[in-house]
Structure 1
Amino acid sequence: GGGSKENIDSVRVLGNLSSGKQAYFLAIALHLLGAKVFLISSSVPTILPQGIHFIEVTTSIQYYQAIIESKKMCKAKPILFMAAAIADFIPEAVSQTKIKKDSLRNLQLTFEKNMDILSKLSAKEFVKIGFKAEDNHQSAFQNAQGMLHKKECTIVCLNVLDSLKNAFGSDNNQMTLISSNATQETPLLDKFSLSFEIAAFTQQVLLNDDNAH
């Protein structure tokens, strides 16, 4: 959960508007349903049930490393709910000291494409649940469907952002839950209630996959 923060210099970061609320409520819902939960997030929760393992991270590489380390503590194949907003691009060069405003008239930064954590992780090692935020209603569903194959996701949770209903940081959300064989539209719900919808859809898809095999 949360959003990655990538350093520009020793005090400044490149970040995004992800609040981490959906992952926080999802972690609590899954814990209440009996799962062993690791919450990896840059957004520090104020209150968590004692049984949830919280790992605070900042950069995208820290997210990746924490996911790998958490897997080592799981006896079964873990389900990864990738609700974090990881930077698509990161600074090509990072200043080790603070960039002084007085010494520059303009500051130009060059960015390089960041690693894609979901693509990097193997579907043989994780059940991958992707989360996709879009702001274009026309292409959103097609883009989300593409994640099922391109990133080997079992499920994609599509969130089409709306400034009035479910902008970044809002307490409510509406999603389209997509698998290769099923699609479910949720109503606009508070993020805690929505977490149980995501959990139930995930359970049903995994049960159907097991029965098919």
Structure 2
Amino acid sequence: MLTDKRILLIIGGGIAAFKSLDLIRRLRERGAWVTPVLTNSGAEFVTPLSVSALTGEKTFRDLFDLTDEAEMGHIQLSRSADLVVIAPGTADLMAKMANGLANDLASTLLLATDTPVLVAPAMNVRMWEHPATRRNVSTLRGDGVMFVGPNEGDMACGEYGPGRMSEPLEIVSAIETALAEGPLTGRRILVTSGPTHEPIDPVRYIANRSSGAQGTAIARALTAMGADVVFVTGPADVARPEGAHVVEVETAAQMLDAVQAVLPVDAAVFAAAVADWRVASASDSKIKKQKGAIPAMEFAENPDILATVSQMASGRPPLVVGFAAETDDVIDNATAKRLRKGCDWIVANDVSPETGIMGGSENAVTLVSDDGAEHWPRMGKDEVAHQLAERIAAALG
């Protein structure tokens, strides 16, 4: 898939820069051509000589290189690649991108390019979680910039959390997805998946039996068709879809925040089984069992994520797809839900115990839309996902 593809690799500053050397090797193994750009901070961690030795290309560093700039070399560099990859993507470099700054070679290339851009962020967990970084990431996503990672793990600084750069093979997979030609290439799609966990106290929670398998399969199918997929998931049991940008949440309120941060998108598929209610005042400490005394719990309604997005006055995705897991009167309930929520389609499935659907490997769904109810035969969840992805591609043209 990467044979003769041209990758412009910008190596930012940070200890994760050492992974960029392995990334270059992996890309070259797959037949890609890699043109390296090394920032001044990046050169503190890896040398131009090591980068050039692995790429077989000159390592570019200086915006005002007289030889290269005689013919506006930075413009040519920015537009001759099939994909621009930033690994590691530092907080500083993303801030420059989000605000249109161009005071060195890397930032100038990024402002001058009309080539798709993929960022592999790497930074301290506090920097990643800082409101300024979150704003910048949201801005860049809105501009069409793609992301892979960051992962959770131990930091070089001794802290733990999200901020580790994705592993080289993860980045290669994201590059292959970004360069894949398919009916959804250039489309950005949101998929929610899994259950939500609503805490009762630090050790107990309200949840449901959703495994997240169907939402994951949908994300994989959309990615395979070339879509840039943002996958917002609750605490699901299944592996996360490769090639998608994964956002992990726990509660319904967190899922709504994550969804709103992702917008705008071309389509949104709400496959998550969001808890309808939460405990109004979760206990900060474990509720102790007392003989003969059953604790009284007051419940509050969770935000309705599907209705919130479907009924947005501005910025509503052109296509909003909801799910309805029903045990009785499946079509009638799903049809009423579509009208009540305001979404375009409802994927209805019968999850009554005798079907074995909930938590199983198969699904039997009915697609409810303005055109009526279309029954699909029982099939594997991957097949359901592929068929739904094809319908989404057709709807988006």
What range is the shorter-chain TM-score in?
0.7 to 0.9
- The alignment's TM-score, normalised by the length of structure 2, stands at 0.48
Identify the structure with bigger relative contact order (alpha carbons < 8 Å, sequence gap 6+).
1
**Count of matched residue positions in the alignment of Structure 1 and Structure 2:** 200
Please name the residue that 2:335 is paired with. 145
Task: Point out the structure with the larger helix share.
Answer: 2
User: Rg bigger for which structure?
Assistant: 2
Confirm or deny: 8 A CA contact 1:174 1:188 kept in the other structure: yes
- The structure 1 residue matched to 2:288, chosen from 97, 100, 104, is 100
What is the deviation of 1:36?
0.6
Structure 1 residue 170 corresponds to structure 2 residue 360: yes
What is the deviation of 1:206?
4.5
Q: Deviations over 1:140-181 (max 9, x none)?
A: 212211233221111100001243434310000010011102
Matches within 5 A, 1:36-51: 36-42=228-234, 43=236, 45-46=238-239, 48-49=241-242, 51=243
> In 2, Cα distance between the equivalents of 1:119 and 1:48?
26
Instruction: Name the CA shift for 1:93/1:14 in 2 (closer, same or farther; >3 Å).
Output: same
Question: Which amino acid counterpart does residue 227 of structure 2 have in structure 1?
Answer: A
Structure 1 residue 180 corresponds to structure 2 residue 373: no
- The structure 2 residue matched to 1:80, chosen from 268, 283, 288, is 268
Confirm or deny: 8 A CA contact 1:186 1:197 kept in the other structure: no
What is the deviation of 1:187?
0.9
Question: Which amino acid counterpart does residue 84 of structure 1 have in structure 2?
Answer: A
> In 2, Cα distance between the equivalents of 1:185 and 1:143?
15
- The alignment's TM-score, normalised by the length of structure 1, stands at 0.86
Question: Which amino acid counterpart does residue 170 of structure 1 have in structure 2?
Answer: G
User: What 5-or-longer segments of structure 1 have no aligned partner?
Assistant: 208-213
Q: Where in structure 1 do 4 or more consecutive aligned residues deviate above 4 Å?
A: none
Instruction: Name the CA shift for 1:70/1:103 in 2 (closer, same or farther; >3 Å).
Output: farther
> In 2, Cα distance between the equivalents of 1:183 and 1:29?
23
> In 2, Cα distance between the equivalents of 1:205 and 1:181?
13
What is the deviation of 1:19?
0.7
Matches within 5 A, 1:1-213: 1-42=193-234, 43=236, 45-46=238-239, 48-49=241-242, 51-71=243-263, 77-102=265-290, 105-121=293-309, 122-123=311-312, 124=314, 125-126=316-317, 127-136=319-328, 139-207=329-397
Partner secondary structure for residue 87 of structure 1: coil
Confirm or deny: 8 A CA contact 2:240 2:246 kept in the other structure: no
